[in-house]
Amino acid sequence: MHSPAPIAVPMRSLSFGALVLLIAATGASAQLPLVTQTPPRVDVISSDTWLCRQVATNLEEATLLGTVILGRLERAQPHLSTETIQFRASDNRLGEAIAAFAIDRVGGVIYVSDSIDGSTLYHESTHAMMLRLTPDAARLEMARVLAADSTGRIEADLIDLARRSFTLSFTASANPQLWGLVPMVLTSAAFSDSSTAGTLARLIRATDSAAVRLEGNVNKGWGRATIADAYDEAANSHWRYAGIARPESWTWRDERTFRLIGEAVAYDRARRCALGY
Inter-helix orientation angle 199-213/227-242, to 10°: 110
Name residues contacting Zn ion, limited to 237-276 (CB under 5 A): 263, 266
Report the chain's terminal Cα–Cα distance, integer Å: 14
CB of 123 to Zn ion, least distance (A): 6
Q: What are the phi and psi torsion angles at 188 (to 5°)?
A: -70, -35
CB of 188 to Zn ion, least distance (A): 23
**CA dist., res. 251 & res. 255, Å (int):** 7
Q: What are the phi and psi torsion angles at 74 (to 5°)?
A: -65, -35
CB of 261 to Zn ion, least distance (A): 11
Which residues is 116 bridged to in the sheet? 56
Which of 259, 273, 263 is CA-nearest to residue 227?
A: 259
Q: β-strands 99-103, 86-89: how paired?
A: unpaired
Binding residues with Zn ion: total (CB under 5 A): 3
Nearer to Zn ion, 85 or 225 (CB): 85
Nearer to Zn ion, 65 or 161 (CB): 161
Nearer to Zn ion, 148 or 158 (CB): 158
Which of 248, 264, 255, 256 is CA-nearest to residue 147?
A: 264
CB of 113 to Zn ion, least distance (A): 14
**CA dist., res. 121 & res. 107, Å (int):** 17
Name residues contacting Zn ion, limited to 155-174 (CB under 5 A): 165
Name residues contacting Zn ion, limited to 165-224 (CB under 5 A): 165
**CA dist., res. 232 & res. 252, Å (int):** 5
Q: What are the phi and psi torsion angles at 215 (to 5°)?
A: -70, 135
Q: How far is CA 254 from CA 97, 175, 205, 207, 234, in A?
A: 24, 21, 13, 12, 11
CB of 275 to Zn ion, least distance (A): 18
Nearer to Zn ion, 103 or 266 (CB): 266
Is 90 a binder of Zn ion (CB under 5 A)? no
Nearer to Zn ion, 225 or 230 (CB): 230
Nearer to Zn ion, 128 or 185 (CB): 128
CB of 150 to Zn ion, least distance (A): 22
Nearer to Zn ion, 225 or 260 (CB): 260
CB of 195 to Zn ion, least distance (A): 26
Residues engaged in binding Zn ion (CB under 5 A): 165, 263, 266
